[in-house]
Structure 1
Amino acid sequence: MRSWLTYVLMLVVVACVSAQHYNRYDNFNADSIIQNERILLAYYKCVMDKGPCTKDGKNFKRVLPETLSTACSRCTPKQKLVVRKLLLGIRAKSEPRFLELLDKYDPESLNREALYTFLVTGV
């Protein structure tokens, strides 16, 4: 009984910590990054392993594979807005960089259709 209770408590702690990290960017200002090409390029270089990463950049890099592979399915509505703005911002500034990003995180193009649908519809 005691080991079962310990196991349940560990699961609750892990779930709470995961939710906190995933919800961290609900109020992230994507517009300020998109409007500043230098900052947008810095984030791009970070997630592409071509430059240094800030703390936020490291966190984005950590969640980016799942975000792209699931078309942001675990994202909150606010997070979907942020992710969509950032991806569309990168795409608008440089289609080759956008495609390079997709090739890195979805090399088999397994989720491109769902991702493009997400970018168009936000869903």
Structure 2
Amino acid sequence: MQSWLLAVCALTVVVAAQQYPNRYENFNTDAIIQNERILLAYYKCVMDKGPCTKDGKNFKRVLPETLTTACARCSPKQKQVVRKMLLGIRSKSEPRFFELLDKYDPEHANREALYKFLVTGV
């Protein structure tokens, strides 16, 4: 019985560690995308061109892995948020979008998977 309980606890820890915390699952991407000033501030933060808010620092920390794995560790809701944000950046300024991708995936190692994620959400 103890070993079964230990195994369940270990599995829970492993599954929880595979996804990002759900802190930003209800993040209002529309408000950011529609406000050029806020969108530019986040962009400058993640591109090391300006100061970062607490949220900006968190995004900057997970952005490299998120882009290079096409959001593999994201929950379904987080995938929606990331996808919407990246598509919003692209629609507002395609040069900034590509500059962002080039910074965090300079070898274009995962570009095809990222584009597929942006198109399909998977």
Q: TM-score, normalised by structure 1?
A: 0.84
For the aligned residue pairs, the C-alpha RMSD in angstroms reads 2.2
Give the 5 Å matches for 1:72-83. Answer: 72-83=71-82
2:52 matches 1:53: yes
2:84 matches 1:85: yes
Note the residue ranges of structure 1 that are not aligned, 5 or more in a row. Answer: 1-7
Question: 1:23 deviation in Å?
Answer: 1.5
Q: TM-score, normalised by structure 2?
A: 0.84
Partners of 2:118 and 2:52 lie apart in 1 by 25
Runs of 4+ in 1 over 2 A off after TM superposition: 18-22
Give SS of 2:21's match.
helix
Note the residue ranges of structure 2 that are not aligned, 5 or more in a row. Answer: 1-8
Partners of 1:102 and 1:35 lie apart in 2 by 21
Q: Which amino acid aligns with 2:116?
A: T
1:3 corresponds to which residue?
Answer: none
1:27 corresponds to which residue?
Answer: 26
Q: Which amino acid aligns with 1:47?
A: V
- Residues paired across the two proteins, number: 113
2:101 corresponds to which residue?
Answer: 102
**1:67-120 alpha-carbon deviations (Å, 9 max, x no partner):** 001000111111011100110011001110000000000000000000000000
Question: 1:19 deviation in Å?
Answer: 7.3
2:113 corresponds to which residue?
Answer: 114
Over 3 Å counting, the alpha-carbon distance change for 1:15 and 1:53 in structure 2 is farther
2:67 corresponds to which residue?
Answer: 68
Question: Is the 2:18–2:73 Cα contact (8 Å) retained in structure 1?
Answer: no
